[in-house]
């Protein structure tokens, strides 16, 4: 396990623990926590904060029948939820987003590939595959962009990001992440708006690629 040097900021972990992060960011944070003990400890500490609020926020009497009906339901069968174990470089939360199947890569040109995991009103999540030495297509994004490295590494003006490292980029960051030599770089990326690439694919085609 290589040392993780770029972590999730505390506000992001607090918001994730409180369940107030939009789904795309929540997926990236859950995946980072799966790889990072320090952020797991911080996340669990925030759950303790939530527990303290639950204990103190004020009780409301429940109806007389509620306890009996819950006790009567204890033996009712409950459908187990499917679990998605880590597969290769993809931690459990990513495997769940992939519904247990391998990524479906689509070429973006120059060897760069993407596999869209989700795209909707709250933003989008995708896997990116970048050959060594290749730059992530120059792009701008409206809000916060989270990028988590799953394989290989990339570098940009803010530093080097290896497996488990999380880059938090706000809209002011002009960056051109470039995959380092060695293994191809695979990242999980989330934005709160459709990602626009400035080159590589003419803007007019972007609706077709959903990028």
Partner 1 sequence: MWMLAVRDGRDRAAFAALFDHFAPRLKGFFMRSGTASAQAEEIVQEVMLTVWHKAGQFDPARAQVSAWIYQIARNRQIDVFRKERRPMPEELLSDAHDAEPDATQILAVEQEASQLKQALARLKPDQRAIIEKAYLGELSHQEISTETGLPLGTIKSRIRLGLEKLRHDLKELR
Q: Which residues bind partner 1 (CB under 8 A)?
A: 9-12, 14-21, 23, 25-27, 30-31, 33-34, 37-38, 40-63, 66-67, 69-71, 73-74, 78, 86, 91-93, 96-97
7 binds, among partner 1, Zn ion, none (CB under 5 to 8 A by kind): Zn ion
Tokens of 78: 């409950």
Of the candidates 114, 118, 117, which has an alpha carbon nearest to the alpha carbon of residue 106?
114
Please, which residue, 32 or 113, has the CB nearer to Zn ion?
32
In the set 29, 39, 130, 136, which binds Zn ion (CB under 5 A)? 39
The smaller minimum CB distance to Zn ion, of residues 161 and 197, is found at: 161
Q: How many CA atoms lie within 13 A of 63 on its CB side?
A: 5
The three-point CA angle 26-28-34 to 5° equals: 100
Scan residues 55-74 and list those touching Zn ion (CB under 5 A): none
The span from the CA of 69 to the CA of 75, in Å, is 11
Work out the number of other CB atoms within 10 angstroms of the CB of residue 82.
Answer: 8
CB of 43 to partner 1, least distance (A): 7
Count of positions (residues) in the chain: 211
Residues at the site binding Zn ion, with contacts judged by CB under 5 A: 7, 36, 38-39
């Amino acid at each position: 396990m290589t040392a993780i040097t770029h972590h999730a900021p505390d506000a992001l972990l607090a918001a994730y623990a409180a369940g107030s992060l939009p789904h795309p960011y929540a997926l990236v944070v859950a995946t980072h926590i799966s790889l990072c003990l320090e952020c797991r400890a911080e996340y669990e500490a925030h759950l303790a904060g939530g527990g303290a609020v639950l204990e103190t926020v004020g009780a409301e009497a429940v109806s007389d029948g509620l306890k009996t009906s819950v006790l009567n339901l204890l033996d009712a069968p409950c459908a187990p939820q499917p679990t998605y174990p880590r597969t290769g470089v993809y931690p459990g939360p990513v495997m769940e987003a992939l519904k247990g199947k391998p990524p479906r890569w689509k070429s973006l040109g120059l060897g760069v590939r993407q596999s869209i995991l989700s795209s909707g009103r709250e933003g989008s999540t995708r896997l990116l595959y970048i050959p060594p030495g290749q730059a992530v297509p120059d792009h701008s994004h409206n809000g916060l962009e989270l990028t988590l490295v799953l394989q290989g590494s990339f570098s940009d003006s803010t530093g080097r990001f290896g497996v488990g490292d999380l880059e938090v980029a706000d809209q002011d960051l002009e960056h051109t992440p470039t995959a380092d030599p060695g293994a191809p770089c695979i990242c999980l990326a989330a934005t709160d708006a459709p990602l626009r690439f400035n080159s590589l694919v003419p803007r007019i085609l972007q609706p077709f690629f959903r990028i």
